[in-house]
Amino acid sequence: MTITEIDPFDDAAFDAWHATYAAAEQHGRGEWSSDWLLEESRAAKQARLPSHEVHVFALVEAGEAVAVAELELPLLDNPELAWGKVHTHPRHRRRGHGGALLAHLEERAARAGRTRFVTETAYPWDAPADGAGHPDADFLTRRGFVFGIGDVQRVLDLPVPGDLLASLAASAAPHHTAYALRSFAGPVPEEHVADYAALCAAVSTEAPTGGLDLEPETADVAAFRAVEELQARQGRTRHATVAVAPDGSLAGYTDLVTSEHDPGRAYQWGTLVRREHRGHRLGLAVKVANILHLQARRPDINVVRTWNAETNAPMVGVNRAMGFRAVDRLGEFQKMLTAP
């Protein structure tokens, strides 16, 4: 049994890594699995981005990648943070492979000077918010991880009836008459990119973080454009709506992402309204406008998936009003590391 770092440019090795990753992500989750598809994942792991570095590993036994893992180290902010995740093939669970790989990730993170390790795991909707009693959550807590915050995956069937969207838009409209809504697909227009990057960077700490110890992310336009270039290589397209304030700055945004490798689905990425612009129902306004934008451009998309902190009452309320329904949970866990 050996643990090796995988070269994402080695097609055979990475294909084997991804096969184990996908099997683990899909295990027990049925249609609610949200694993990245092969070419999306390959492009992401091959990328060299200014914002973070990524490493992927495999635990190999008898020539088979029985468990795999990924480790992400932020480079522009959160210098004490590492994010990682372990995926064990369902045929090889309960043999210590996941624990061995997780220990390896923790060691690599500590050697890189990181003192906080964050990971996540999914469990059914009817499980407790912290996943207690579910084997994947218990796997983490037995190894010193502490539950930080619980997220809920919700799905929205498309198309949303036009009369519902019209009613929601009309209910919000009187509150944001000073703002203009603008929708687009693809790269963010140059005149908005600095504000857009700042909004995206703020999501990680403006949204509820529970017990997770996170610092604000750095808003860097060059890094943001590098991620957009990666998304193009992944076959992904951003569909966004922004709220433009009277002075031309962005007051808020929302975006959905589709992939040529994942037909029929769209994924909600971020939604945020700046604090000084809240109280105008801009969150509801941009989300409704963006669904209308997506349905007009991509009538082939039949479902939207989103994840929200269960404690994010305003956004949960917006999603419920639009027709999203809860389907499963995602727990985020944190562990403090000691220097090697």
Tell me if the pTM is above 0.85: yes
So what's the pLDDT on residue 5?
98
Cβ atoms 34, 42 nearer than 8 A: no
Reduced to 3 states (helix: H, G, I; strand: E, B; else coil), residue 268 is: strand
Structure tokens at 229: 């270039």
What is the rounded average pLDDT of the residues 64-70? 98
What is the rounded average pLDDT of the residues 46-68? 97
pLDDT band at 340 (very low <50, low <70, confident <90, very high): confident
Q: Give dist(CA 284, CA 282) in Å, integer.
A: 5
Left, alpha or beta for 109 (phi > 0: left; psi -120 to 50: alpha)? alpha
So what's the pLDDT on residue 30?
87
Full strand arrangement of the beta sheet holding 180-185: 2-5, 52-61, 64-74, 81-88, 116-124, 325-336, 146-157, 303-309, 265-273, 250-259, 236-244, 180-185
Q: What is the pLDDT of residues 173-200, one digit of tens each?
A: 999 999 999 999 999 999 999 999 999 9
How high is the mean pLDDT of the chain? 97
Q: What is the pLDDT of residues 1-44, one digit of tens each?
A: 899 999 999 999 999 999 999 999 999 998 999 899 999 999 99
Q: Give dist(CA 294, CA 309) in Å, integer.
A: 24
Q: What is the pLDDT of residues 261-309, one digit of tens each?
A: 999 999 999 999 999 999 999 999 999 999 999 999 999 999 999 999 9
Number of neighbouring beta carbons within 10 Å of residue 220: 18
What is the rounded average pLDDT of the residues 226-233? 98
Q: Nearest CA to 307 among 333, 287, 327, 322? A: 327
Domains assigned to the chain: 2-114 (3.40.630.30), 155-330 (3.40.630.30)
**What percentage of the chain has pLDDT greater than the value 90?**
97
Strand segments, DSSP code E, in 1-77 are 2-5, 52-61, 64-74
pLDDT band at 95 (very low <50, low <70, confident <90, very high): very high
So what's the pLDDT on residue 1?
85
Structure tokens at 311: 């404690």
pLDDT band at 143 (very low <50, low <70, confident <90, very high): very high
106: pLDDT strictly greater than 90: yes
- Report CA-CA distances (Å) from 192 to 92, 183, 217, 294: 48, 12, 18, 20
Q: Give dist(CA 61, CA 59) in Å, integer.
A: 7
Which amino acid, residue 339?
A
